[in-house]
Every structure is written in structure tokens, then in C-alpha cells.
Amino acid sequence: MTLLLVFLGGIVGAPARYLLDRLVQRLHDSVFPWGTLSVNLSGSFVLGLLFGAHDHLGLPTAMVTLLGTGFCGAFTTFSTFGFETVRLLEEGSVLEAGLNALGSLVLGVLAAAAGFALAALLG
């Protein structure tokens, strides 16, 4: 059952990532990977919210598996983040690469913490 939940969440998460990434990136005329940053930050927030809801609101583990592991796992993308950071460095966009790396890490952790805190407040 767990594998099926992960699979079903991934079926929705992967295309959602692609569509949001393309939409956000189209809105910015910049070498900075705003699309990837957007999906990773929103996915971090949702994952924090899910685990907070599990701990404080009694969200069933099956929902965390479906939405957290399945959807968020397919929605967020560490590999694209890594590749785009390297690409920025290769193009000489050192400042943008540093901002992407540091910003993604710091803001991602803060987004996850905010999601968890919101669920705790609601509980």
C-alpha cells in the first residue's frame, strides 16, 4: 500500500513541478532559476505543514506518505537545483549561484519550519 501511495503522489507531483517551474521562469527575464526556487520553497513549506499536521492535528500517516513522500518528493528537485547552480557558475554568474545555493538552503529550512509552525498553531 505504501508504494502505491508514493506512486500516486508522484504522478501528480512531477507534472506539477514542471508546470510551476515553467510558469514562474517565464515571468522572469533572468538567469536566476526562480522556477526551481519556487517549487523547492513551496514544497518545503507543504512538507513542513504535513509533518506538523501529522504531529499536531492527527493527519494520518498514509496522507503524509501520499502527499509528503509521493507528491513533495516528486514536486521538489534537488538535482535541478544542483545542476542550475553549477550552470550559473559555468556562465560566470557567481553571485547568482551563491544566492541560489545559500538562499535555497536558508529559505527552504525556514519554509519547512513555517509550515510546521502553522500546523502547530492550528492544533
Q: Is 2 annotated as contributing to ligand binding?
A: no
Q: Is 85 annotated to bind ligand?
A: no
Specify burial of residue 81 (Cβ count, 10 A radius: 0-12, 13-18, 19+): buried
Beta-carbon neighbour count of residue 45 at 10 Å?
A: 21
Binding-site positions: 73, 76
Binding-site positions for Na(+): 73, 76
